[in-house]
Structures are given as C-alpha cells and as structure tokens.
C-alpha cells in the first residue's frame, strides 16, 4: 500500500511540475493534437505534447504496416481521404510548407489489393477509373460516369 501512495505522490508532484512549466498539456500527437499544439504555439502559449508511440501522426502516419505481407510498402493506417485537408486553412495558417510539408500526388490515387490476388486501381481520370470498375461490374461502371459532373 505504501508503494502505491509513494507512486501516486510522485505522479502528482510530476503533474503539478508539468502544469507549472506549461500552459497546456496535450496527450497524443495525432493530427488533432498536432494541429491544436500548432495553433496554441502560434497564439503564444507554451505546449507540452506527449505521444506514447515513437512516431507522431496517429492515424495519419506513413508506415510499413504489413511488413510480412507487403514488405517495403508504406501507407496511412487511417487517412485515405486525406485530400480533404486542402478544403481548410490549416496548411496555410500553420505555414506547413515552410516546415517541410510536401505532397506527392500519385496517379493511380488508390490501390486496393485483395487476398486472392485481384486488385482495384482508382485513377485521377474518371474514365480510367470506370474501366477498372468495369472489370468487376459493367453496370456500376456505367453508373459512375454521371458522378463526374455531380455538383457542377
Ligand atoms: C480505418 C479508418 C479509416 C479512416 N479513414 C479516414 C479518412 O480517409 N479520412 C479522414 O479524414 N479520417 C479518416 N479516419 C478518421 C481519422 O483517422 C481520425 O479521425 C483521426 O486519426 C483522429 O485524429 P486524432 O489526432 O484525434 O487521433 P489519432 O489519429 O487516433 O491519434 C491519437 C494519438 O494519441 C496517441 N495516444 C493515445 N493515447 C495516448 C496516451 N495515453 N499517451 C500518449 N499518447 C497517446 C496515439 O498513439 C496516437 O498517436 C479513419 C479512421 C479509421 C479507423
């Protein structure tokens, strides 16, 4: 029991030392934690950002996630539609290009492998993507074409 109290005392004194040294403590360096920390720093606050893993980024990292099945291939665990970031002001407001951000825009834009060896590729070109869809369903490929003009 005394060991437990001793540990709690250590944690409490560490916590109060941290809270005195920083205006804000953020747990987790996923993209929300990173963006939050960036804005707080820009606003003049001192920030401690703690990450449990050796790699920051959370769901937005680029990692070799399947070293046995796909050695050498790196991809995001949870950011397939990452391009939505261009709809907001974060890149400009946090001057991310100045700090080394670089986007590699690929074509094909998506590769979906199946365990049986089949695969699907999505391209920038709607026509090329439809050709890929047609390998699985002519009906779906024909219905995808009108989406090209959707919202125009
Ligand atoms: C399969 C999947 C696909 C997705 N696809 C998309 C998509 O295409 N587009 C999109 O916009 N969103 C997508 N999302 C959602 C997106 O990934 C999440 O909304 C986003 O990652 C949340 O960011 P976050 O910073 O809040 O948390 P996370 O990215 O989860 O990061 C949390 C971080 O906190 C760390 N952490 C957690 N607990 C502790 C602790 N106690 N101490 C220290 N560190 C800690 C973790 O290690 C991690 O680095 C997807 C999610 C999933 C699961």
Contact 23, 46 (CB under 8 A): yes
Question: What's the pLDDT at 152?
Answer: 44
Among the atoms of ligand 1, which is closest to the Cα of residue 50? Answer: 43
Determine which residue's CA is closest to atom 49 belonging to ligand 1: 58
| Separation CA 130–CA 141 (nearest Å) | 5
Q: What is the pTM of this model?
A: 0.79
Cα(32)–Cα(38) distance, rounded to whole angstroms? 10
| Per-residue pLDDT reduced to its tens digit, 108-143 | 988 888 889 999 999 989 889 999 999 999 998 888
User: Using an 8 Å Cβ cutoff, are 90 and 35 in contact?
Assistant: yes
In this prediction, residue 145 carries a pLDDT of 63
Per-domain residue ranges of the chain: 1-102, 105-147
pLDDT tens digits along 65-112: 999 988 998 888 887 777 788 899 999 999 999 999 988 888 998 888
The span from the CA of 133 to the CA of 140, in Å, is 7
Q: Counting atoms of ligand 1 from 1, which one is nearest the CA of 57?
A: 49
Q: Separation of 44 CA from ligand 1 center, angstroms? A: 26
Which of 49, 50, 52, 59 best tests ligand 1's pocket when mutated (most atoms within 8 Å of CB)?
Answer: 59
Query: Helical H runs in 22-149?
Result: 31-42, 90-93, 126-134, 138-144
Return mean pLDDT, the chain.
87
> What residues line ligand 1, using a CB cutoff of 6 Å?
27-33, 50-53, 58-59, 78-81, 84
Whose Cα sits closest to atom 25 in ligand 1? 30
Percent of the chain clearing pLDDT 70 (strictly above): 91
The residue to mutate among 11, 25, 28, having the most atoms of ligand 1 within 8 angstroms of its beta carbon, is 28
Longest dimension (CA), the chain: 72
């Amino acid at each position: 029991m005394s060991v437990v109290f001793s540990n709690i005392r250590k944690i409490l004194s560490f916590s109060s030392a941290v809270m005195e040294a920083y205006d804000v403590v953020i747990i987790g360096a996923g993209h929300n934690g990173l963006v939050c920390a960036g804005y707080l720093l820009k606003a003049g606050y001192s920030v401690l950002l703690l990450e449990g893993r050796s790699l920051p980024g959370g769901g937005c990292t680029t990692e070799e996630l399947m070293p046995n099945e796909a050695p050498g291939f790196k991809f995001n665990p949870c950011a397939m539609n990452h391009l939505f970031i261009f709809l907001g002001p974060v890149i400009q407001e946090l001057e991310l290009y100045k700090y080394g951000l670089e986007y590699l825009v690929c074509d094909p834009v998506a590769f979906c492998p199946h365990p049986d060896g089949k695969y699907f590729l999505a391209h920038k070109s709607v026509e090329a993507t439809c050709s890929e869809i047609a390998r699985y369903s002519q009906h779906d490929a024909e219905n995808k074409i009108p989406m090209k003009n959707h919202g125009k």
